[in-house]
Structure 1
Amino acid sequence: MNERPTPLIEQRADPHILKAADGYYYFSASVPEYDRLELRRSKTIAGLADAERVTVWRKPDEGPFSDLIWAPEIHYVRGAWYIYFAAAPSREIKYDLFQHRMYAIHTDAANPLEGEWSEPVQIDTGIDTFCLDATVFEHGDDLFYVWAQKEIGIEGNSNLYIAKMDTPLQLQTKPARLSIPEFEWEIRGFWVNEGPSILKRNGKVFLSYSASATDENYAMGLLYADQDSDLLDPSSWTKSKEPVLGSRPELKHFGPGHNSFTVSEDGQKDLLVYHAREYTEIEGDPLWDPNRHTFVKELQWGADGMPIFDTPGS
């Protein structure tokens, strides 16, 4: 059924929904003003739409993290809450790129909406270039960090990297590059691989990501590796040559991407969380158009154990 998808939350891009062990769903996303970190929580996914919005951190007027607060993700890691995000010192553009670096704040509070949060700490990858869109995941006894970053000498805005972490704020290993923009659908408008998210199922580790400019050309790709392989070895990963999710003009659904994964209330269904627009007539820079909305839909699975993203539905 080609039913037009309905937004769960309007004007929230780069959405991240975490179902935590306390039974709550936690929601974080980029706000249109790019000026703060905002959380909400609910016992149900539908309840997130009208849940109280709590600002847990607001950008200062100046300094290294004083502008363009992008793509916050809340995670519960090793006994504490962390929000990973990207921020710039200003809107200055050098070498055709903003000057974002990656940061994290943390709290030990049981309820992160009520906690006292730390000051931002920079996550240093050892590469001093534009970087953003960090996520973390635990696998076995290890904690991994996955993100997007510009590498000098490689054409484009950003590639995808992975590293093992020593602590939730510090890398243990050097970055391993997993993917660069190379296919036609990854280089429309901008050469971009960004917005990684991890899902572990069926003996594999799946890494979804987004590519191209943030207008109707935005689309999602997929990498995957065997769960027992060396995740720091780029050769362990297979990259899909085709996008797994793209614009659907017939549904007025444009530029889907920057996703996360969560599960249904009963834990039986995997859910895809992502943003998209409902039109293409954008005035000026798409970055400043506020109408990237949060959508949630069920993630289907094929008989081969692979996820099926591009199925219509709310």
Structure 2
Amino acid sequence: MRRAFALAVLLLALIPAMPASAARTSLRAADPSVIRVGSTYISVQSLNNGIAVRQASSPDALAGATARQVWSDTGNLGEVWAPEIHFDSGRYWIYFSAGRGPSHRMYVVSSVAPASGYSAAVRMALPDDKWAIDGTMFVFGGQRWFVWSGWAGDTNVEQNLYIARMSSPTTTTGPRHVISQPREGWERVVGNPFINEAPEAIRDPNGQLHIVYSANGSWSDQYCLADLRLRAGGDPTYVWDWYKSNGCLFGSHRATMMPGWDPTLYADGPGHHSFVLLNGDIATSPPAGPRFPLMYHAVAKGTPYAWANRHWYTGTFAWWGNTTYTRANVPGATSNTGFGLKFFE
């Protein structure tokens, strides 16, 4: 008992105290995407019917930095949603969705500089050519991957998460594979459609792949973050090698939180996050213990929940060991224990 108590005290000592309030920035916007290159933090956002880049010396300073327009929708593609910035092979790549209604598809632009010189938009030929948003690229197991939120067919019933291999930063190869569908009760509190979106890849201290995503509609304060963990040695394209958290890991409603995780105190509907990693590379994700920077959008508690009231927030995250995810009535093992995540406002 004394040994267990001492271990608990040590673990708590490794985690700094919670801040007095959520770190809401002055930027009234959604869908932050942030990477660190050297000592510079670089963000992208949808702005003025195009994409803007900001650069600053810290995540908190991004909101006050100059927004430089790097791409404009001169081709009248339609609504520009949720750009994601990456650094790969000496170039910056910005993935985004554009279109109207069911025509939304993924596009990419690139440059050798973070805030200028971007190419014309290239439409990505994703397998099956269905509605697609929130695409992101990462490297795992020596292979580039692309993961996104999309429809199974041509109607807006639910948004699933799909993954495909990549042969280059602009090209997927082979079929798409579904890795998550919004079928759990806690991710179906808000529907029409039911939502799994905004996937972000990260590698845990054991080397296992995680896809942290947003569940429930972004128009509701039930919006939250949940986790998919790939079993050790698992195949990213095989859905039953993925284990889903048993509830939200970052959300504002206790009823939908995973047991042992607490709801937010100051922010409503936290979601569509960005792990702020060096070069955006999941191989630079943190070890167990320290907190690392996080950005997400949310609405301040006490403020009517609406898209127009969303702000960028800065927070932190840490790996949480010995976290068991369970499932029932599916192939393979019914539980998997490994690292989960704790998120802090």
* TM-score using structure 1 length: 0.84
* Counterpart in the other structure of 1:295: 313
Residue 209 of structure 2 corresponds to residue 205 of structure 1: yes
Q: Tell me the residue number matched to 1:308.
A: 341
| 1:302 CA drift (Å) | 2.3
Range with bigger deviation, 233-242 or 69-78 = 233-242
**Equivalent position SS for 2:186:** helix
* Alignment-derived partner of residue 105 in structure 2: 101
User: What SS does the aligned partner of 2:174 have?
Assistant: coil
- Distance in 2 (CA, whole Å) between partners of 1:158 and 1:292 is 22
Q: Is the 8 A contact 2:214 2:272 kept in 1?
A: yes
Choose from 230, 235, 238 the match for 2:240.
235
Q: Which moved more, 1:51-60 or 1:250-259?
A: 250-259
Native 8 Å contact 2:94 2:109 kept in 1: yes
> How far apart, in 1, do the equivalents of 2:68 and 2:185 lie?
40
- The equivalent residue for 2:257 is none
Aligned match of 1:40 in 29, 54, 57?
A: 54
* 1:258-310 deviation line (CA, Å, top 9, x unaligned): 1110159xx7632222110115525xxx4xx3221111212133242623334
Task: Describe the shift of the 1:45–1:250 C-alpha distance in structure 2 as closer, same or farther (beyond 3 A).
Answer: closer
Counterpart AA for 2:294 = L
Cα distance in 1 between the residues matched to 2:85 and 2:166: 17
Question: Corresponding residue for 2:80?
Answer: 69
- The residue aligned with 1:223 is 228
Moved over 6 A (4+): none
Cα distance per residue 1:191-232 (max 9 Å; x no partner):
010000011122211110011111212111110114532212
- Whole-angstrom CA distance in 2 between matches of 1:250 and 1:181: 22
In structure 1, stretches of 5+ residues that fail to align are: none
What's the CA shift string for 1:91-110, capped at 9, x where partnerless?
A: xx4xxxx4311100111x2x
In the TM superposition, what are the counterparts of 1:250-261 in structure 2 within 5 Å?
251-261=265-275
Unaligned runs of 5+ residues in structure 2 are: 1-17, 254-262, 279-285, 323-337
Match of 2:96, as an amino acid?
F
Instruction: For 2:157 and 2:303, locate their aligned partners in 1 and report how far apart those are by CA, in whole Å.
Output: 24
User: Contact conserved, 1:162 with 1:232, CA < 8 A, in 2?
Assistant: yes
Task: Name whichever structure is richer in helix by fraction.
Answer: 2
1:38-78 CA-to-partner distances (Å, cap 9, x unmatched) read 1011232233232221100111263xx2x211000110112
Match of 1:167 in 2: 168
Cα distance between partner residues in 2 of 1:273 and 1:124: 29
Report the AA paired with residue 206 of structure 1. Answer: H
Match of 2:39 among 8, 23, 26: 23
| Paired amino acid for 2:65 | A
Residues in 1 aligned to 2:148 and 2:58: alpha-carbon distance in whole angstroms = 29
Change (3 A) 1:101 1:2: same
The percent identity for this pair of structures is 28
CA distance in 1, matches of 2:343, 2:264: 14
1:281 alignment partner, one of 292, 297, 304: 304
Alignment CA distance shift 1:250-1:123 (3 Å)? closer
Paired position in structure 1 for 2:259: none
Conservation of the 8 A alpha-carbon contact between 1:7 and 1:295: yes
Question: CA distance change for structure 1 residues 307 and 297 in 2, over 3 Å: closer, same or farther?
Answer: farther
Structure showing greater radius of gyration is 2
Equivalent residue for 1:60, pick from 74, 78, 91:
74
